Structure 1
Amino acid sequence: MQARKVAEGVYWLGAVDWDRRLFDSLIPLPDGTSYNAYLIAGREKTALLDTVDPAMAETLMRQLDGIAKIDFVVSLHAEQDHSGTIPQVLEKYPQAKVVCSAKAKPMLMDFLRIPEAAFITVADGETLSLGDKTLKFIYTPWVHWPETMVAYLEEDRILFSCDFFGSHIASSDLFATDQGRVYEAAKRYFAEIMMPFRSVIANNLEKLKPYDIQMIAPSHGQIFDQPAWIMEAYQDWATSPPHNLVVLPYVSMHGSTKIMVEHLVSALVDRGIRVELFNLAVTDTGKLAMALVDAATIVVGVPTVLAGPHPLAAYATLLANALRPKAKFLSIIGSYGWGGRTVEILAGMIPNLKVEVLNPVLCKGLPSEADCKALDDLAAAIAAKHKEHNYT
């Protein structure tokens, strides 16, 4: 794909990766992704904002054919899917300086072996003039690494947000025209990457409020030429109370845990609580992460294996602990054959979650009438908690 005009003197460069299905050997990418770089041609100087993943370096370098001079290569974030092609760009434009935050400089030197003399570091709020265009750098730490910053193009009122407001989605559209599709991709991106840093993201959203932002150009996904809705979505995901929702990841080996799960789901629905159910043997972990953004309660359905929790349930519990959702309550249901320490082990896996643990329900073999009554009591307790806090 060729360079595409975003505004006068501002161009999208980069690569659309239609085929990538896994990020960091961890995160599913059902819709592919894109690596966005931006060329800003001022009257006196030219800046390239970020580059592309090294696997797509050839695409970016072809797009730079015919660009006689680049004065600055701005690195908003040191992770290699953004910075990885900087060495090739510097080889083509040896006079260019790498502009980054003070924390990014040693990272880029370590990751890419860029010599120290190539760098210019900028402070929070510092500006860089390109002649008739001015970039202002705003530190946004932990969105989602400690060195990250964004750049605001003052004359055009464009925010180059790097991973902030990004989405893993491959598309030929330059702008976010399909809001429903982009909303889902952006929520998945927030859930998998940004959610552990909700409180810091809330602070960074406040930091951006004084700026008149007419366009957001992230480093993954489409450009937001009507940015209000994605900023409102981030505000909701990061700061709003959880919803009247129970997320129930489960795995069942011989059917007993599944019977318990189905009984609890019915009891919760009867009490006006929405439930999202995830069979961990087949589920998309990205979908699970998205549901955790809104959940007030998490219930893990788990059979006991070798005296402990089934590994898939343990993984889901570790995932929730790492993502740090805003859920307020947690419980465990499941079955066992001859004993074990499932509850104790899972409880020890969630030190990051600030949750109240509600009475677990474990049964031996198939659930009895008394076990079903305990599940009804758990559903009633969850409903009471949600009503007490006015979750909607």
Structure 2
Amino acid sequence: MNAREIAKGIKVISTVHWERRLFDSLIPLPDGTSYNAYLIQGSKGTALVDTTDPELKHELLDQLESVEHIDYLVTQHSEQDHSGTIPDVLARYPKAKLVCSSKAKDLVLTHLDVAPERIRVVEDGEEISLGDKTLQFVYTPWVHWPETMCTYIPQDKCLLSCDFFGSHVATSDMYVTNKELVYEAAKRYFAEIMMPFRNMIRRNLDKLSGLEIDVIAPSHGPVYNEPDFIVDAYKDWVSPSMKNEVVLPYITMHGSTEMMVKYLVNSLADRGVTTHLFDLSVTDIGKLAISLVDAATLVVGTPTVHIGPHPGVFYAAHLANMLRPKLKYAAIVGSYGWSSKAIEQISGLIPNLKVDVLGTILQKGAPTEDTYKQLDELAEKIANAHKEDELVTTE
């Protein structure tokens, strides 16, 4: 993608990974992704903020062919998709200084083998002048690594936000034009990457609120020329408020667990509770993560494999524990053939979820009338708990 100007003297160089479908060998990318570098050309100096994934380095380097001199190469985050092409850029511009946060220095030295004399550490709030442009560095730790920072250009009220407010989506649009698409992509990004750090993100949002921002330019996805769109979304996602929703990931082997969870879904619906049902044998795990951002209750449905939960359920429970969503309640339902410790093992997998367990139902073989009665009782408990908390009903 050719470099494009988002303000006078500020260009985005977006390398678009249209075909990429998996990030970190873990995160699904249904819409691909992009990596944004920003070229700032002031009256007395030039800076490049971030680079690109090494796989697309030639696209970035080609766009820099006409740039004769770079004074500063700023790395806001040390992950390879941001910093992997730093050695190539430094080789092309031998007088450029690599600018990073204090905690990033060690990562730059160990991961990228940058010569120490080429590194300039900047502290929180420090500025570098490019003449008529100023780079002001704002530490935003744990968004989503400890060394992350943003770069603010006060003359243009432009925030280069790194992974903050990012969205994994491949697009030729420089600005957000399809808000529905970008909202879902940004929420997926938040759910998969940022959610475990939402308390730190809330503090960093407060920190950024002191800046006048007209444009937010993230490292992934299109630029926000209406910044309130994404800032308000983040405020909602990190808030303690939850919705009248249940997330129900499950797997079935011989049909018994599926009969139980689908009955429970209907029983919850009769009581005005929305359920997001995920068959883990075919689910996009990112969709499951998105649903966990707002829900109040997690119900896990599992058959028994050698007295324990199905491996797919084991993985989903581990994922939920790692993401630390703002759940308040949980329950476990499932089936077994001859013996089971599935409930005990699932409970042991989610210590990070500070939830009240509203019930556990484990059925030997196919569900009976008594099983369905227990499921109705569980649905009633969930609905009543949500009512007591005055949760917002999904429209």
Normalised by the size of structure 1, how large is the TM-score?
Answer: 0.99
Deviations 1:114-159 (A, max 9, x none): 0100111011111110000011111000000000000110100000
Following the alignment from structure 1 to structure 2, what is the Cα–Cα distance between the partners of residues 307 and 43?
70
- SS of 1:222's partner is coil
SS at match of 1:360: strand
By how many angstroms is 1:322 displaced? 0.5
Distance (whole Å) between structure 1 residues aligned to residue 315 and residue 391 of structure 2? 28
SS for the counterpart of 1:106 is helix
Partners of 2:226 and 2:194 lie apart in 1 by 22
Counterpart contact for 2:271–2:383, Cα < 8 Å: yes
Q: CA deviation at 1:229?
A: 1.2
Q: Deviation at 1:350? A: 0.5
Structure 2 residue 329 is the aligned partner of structure 1 residue 329: yes
Counterpart CA distance in 1 for 2:345 and 2:220 is 38
For residues 321 and 197 of structure 2, the distance between their equivalents in structure 1, rounded to whole angstroms, comes to 13
Aligned Cα RMSD in Å?
0.6
Q: Give secondary structure in 2 for the equivalent of 1:206.
A: helix
SS at match of 1:155: helix
Match of 2:145 in 1: 145
Alignment partners' CA distance in 2, 1:106 and 1:224: 32
Match in the other structure for 2:317: 317
Q: Tell me how far apart the structure 2 counterparts of residues 8 and 240 of structure 1 sit (CA, whole Å).
A: 40
The 5 Å alignment of 1:167-316 reads: 167-316=167-316
Q: Does 1:65 align with 2:65?
A: yes
What is the distance in 2 between the residues matched to 1:127 and 1:357?
50
Q: Shift in Å at residue 240 of structure 1?
A: 3.9
CA–CA distance in structure 2, aligned partners of residues 65 and 90 of structure 1: 14
User: What is the aligned-residue identity percentage?
Assistant: 57
Task: Give the CA deviation at 1:36.
Answer: 0.3
Match of 1:361 in 2: 361
Structure 2 SS opposite 1:358 = strand
* Structure 2: distance between partners of 1:67 and 1:40: 11
Distance 1:327 1:5 in 2: 42
Q: Residue type of the partner of 2:176? A: A
- Count of residue pairs brought into register by the alignment: 392
Cα contact 2:138–2:152 (8 A) shared by 1: yes
Q: Per the alignment, in what secondary structure is the counterpart of residue 95 of structure 1? A: coil
Cα distance per residue 1:212-258 (max 9 Å; x no partner) = 11000000000000010100000000114110000000100000001
Contact 2:22 2:29 in 1 (8 A): yes
Of residues 350-359 and 179-188 in structure 1, the stretch that sits farther from structure 2 once superposed is: 350-359
Q: Tell me how far 1:66 sits from its aligned partner.
A: 1.1
Distance 1:108 1:352 in 2: 31
CA distance in 1, matches of 2:348, 2:224: 42
5+ residue gaps, structure 2, are none
**Contact (CA 8 Å) 1:248, 1:301: kept in 2 or not?**
yes
CA contact (8 A) 2:140 2:150 kept: yes
List structure 1 runs of 4+ shifted beyond 3 angstroms.
Answer: none
Aligned equivalents of 2:62 and 2:349: distance in 1?
48
Matched, 1:352 2:355: no
**1:14·1:51 contact (CA, 8 Å) conserved in 2?**
no
Q: Which residue of 2 aligns with 1:376?
A: 376
What residue identity is the alignment partner of 1:332?
I
Could you say which residue in structure 1 is the equivalent of 2:21?
A: 21
Amino acid across the alignment from 2:252: S
